[in-house]
Structure 1
């Protein structure tokens, strides 16, 4: 008796079908069009200022403590691992430089963006999805109010500014965590801990880090608003939109981080 054909090729064919690819490209185009439309009326601050203040306070409240709780053990873990390896090579005094440089160049903007996307972005998606279910977005359009200018623009700017501030908090918290473990547990002097970082860091590193944090926060808010505004009009659709917004925001953050870091290191190669 012949065995039934496997469904795996059919499932793979469905997932890789041209229709799915077309939907993905269409969704990406809608995402960037909403972003450009949101930035187009940025100058009209008085129309979205109070919404911006509300979103800024909300994001700062729900992300500050998680960022500190993530950055402190992260800096300590990196300090312990790098310190052990540097001790085997006889360069334990370089641990502080490696920890702080890693925090400034890569960890801080990514960590702040992931916290924004996970803690704040999910709430944004739920809020926009609930407005979509209740037809509030359509009602705003009927009244001649552009929902992108009134709702998306303030959320984009609030998330970008909070992400920039969180990046600085990640650097400080991670540096403190690394300092405690590296100095107290591994016997490195405080002067040697900070001296290595000051010798490796450049002012341009800080500017690029803040720019990446600003951009990643805006991307996280944009993805959250886009998924919420285009979700299925049901509670299940809102839940799926929250999940999709988090995953897509993470993917875009890592992709743009790779592109920006590559361009930066090509333009300003590390000094030998």
Structure 2
């Protein structure tokens, strides 16, 4: 009896010894499989999020382009047929002027002063004080004025437009227009686009005049440059092409800003929080897009119209 029990225990011990290594191997394989599944799941999540972000960005760009093209077509058609909303356009233009005129003056003065002071210090070391007018004027006209216009319109203008259209959207006024058979783009977007196209070049010219004037005062009073040499160098290197390029930049930036602002405003949802998010997105996207576009335009213009004496 004892030998039988001992044999049974020995057999069970052998079975346990044989099973244990198999269990450890199975556990290790299962852990590896779990880790592989987790890594694969994480990779799929990253790829899915990346693809969703890219597709969402492309879709947003497509909607903005559609709004811009539709507004341009409707505006041109209404102007030809004599149905253009002149009163609403002038109202929106006056509103944009009120919110951007004073900030543009406050931005143009220090910009002209800084450019003249910094350039004056450099050219003085080189013994070319007479070139301060050319350097300061070109800096304001070719870069300072268009970018200041884009930032002001993208900051104050885009915020105001996105907030207005966003509030109308969350109050379902835009849906009410659609129910009544009125195109929201024709009623709300076209006047704002036309107003922005009217205000952008005016604001650009205002910044040029104030920036160049403030730079002239600094050069004459603080740097000892004679008025004649300042304007002589300014006229020698500044051409009408530079002014026209600056105005075209302002128009492009204005169109870009107003399209982005209208798109974010018309797609606002979620109540006041959604309006605030739309305003924030409109400001950030419009200014960032203007900066990137300015880099491209500057490179293209420099290739075809290099700086030379007039």
Distance 1:148 1:135 in 2: 15
The reply on whether 1:167 has 2:167 as its aligned counterpart is no
Distance 1:71 1:95 in 2: 17
Deviations 1:76-128, CA, capped at 9 Å, x for gaps: 01111110111111112211111111111111111112101111110110000
Q: Which residue number in structure 1 is paired with residue 145 of structure 2?
A: 108
| CA distance 1:83–1:19, change in 2 (3 Å) | same
The reply on whether 1:68 has 2:105 as its aligned counterpart is yes
Distance 1:63 1:225 in 2: 18
1:19 to 23, 29, 52: 52
Deviations 1:174-212, CA, capped at 9 Å, x for gaps: 111111111101100011111111111121111111111
**CA shift at 1:163, angstroms?**
1.1
**CA shift at 1:13, angstroms?**
4.2
- Say how many residue pairs are matched: 263
Q: Which residue number in structure 2 is paired with residue 242 of structure 1?
A: 279
Distance 1:228 1:119 in 2: 14
TM-score with structure 2 length normalisation?
A: 0.81
**CA shift at 1:258, angstroms?**
1.7
Which structure shows the bigger proportion of residues in helix conformation? 2
Distance 2:307 2:110 in 1: 28
Whether contact under 8 Å (2:67, 2:185) holds in the other structure is yes
1:78 to 105, 108, 115: 115
Structure number with the bigger relative contact order (C-alpha 8 A, sep ≥ 6) is: 1
Secondary structure in 2 matching 1:41: helix
Distance 1:225 1:129 in 2: 9
Q: Which residue number in structure 2 is paired with residue 48 of structure 1?
A: 85
Instruction: Answer with 1 or 2: which has the greater Rg.
Output: 2
| CA distance 1:25–1:192, change in 2 (3 Å) | same
Whether contact under 8 Å (2:96, 2:157) holds in the other structure is yes
Whether contact under 8 Å (1:63, 1:119) holds in the other structure is yes
| CA distance 1:34–1:94, change in 2 (3 Å) | same
TM-score with structure 1 length normalisation?
A: 0.92
**CA shift at 1:233, angstroms?**
2.8
Superposed, 1:78-227 pairs within 5 Å as: 78-227=115-264
| CA distance 1:269–1:138, change in 2 (3 Å) | same
Distance 2:161 2:100 in 1: 13
Distance 2:118 2:47 in 1: 44
Distance 1:16 1:76 in 2: 47
**CA shift at 1:161, angstroms?**
1.5
| CA distance 1:16–1:171, change in 2 (3 Å) | farther
Secondary structure in 1 matching 2:75: coil
Identify unmatched segments of 5+ residues in structure 1.
Answer: 1-8
Q: Which residue number in structure 2 is paired with residue 231 of structure 1?
A: 268
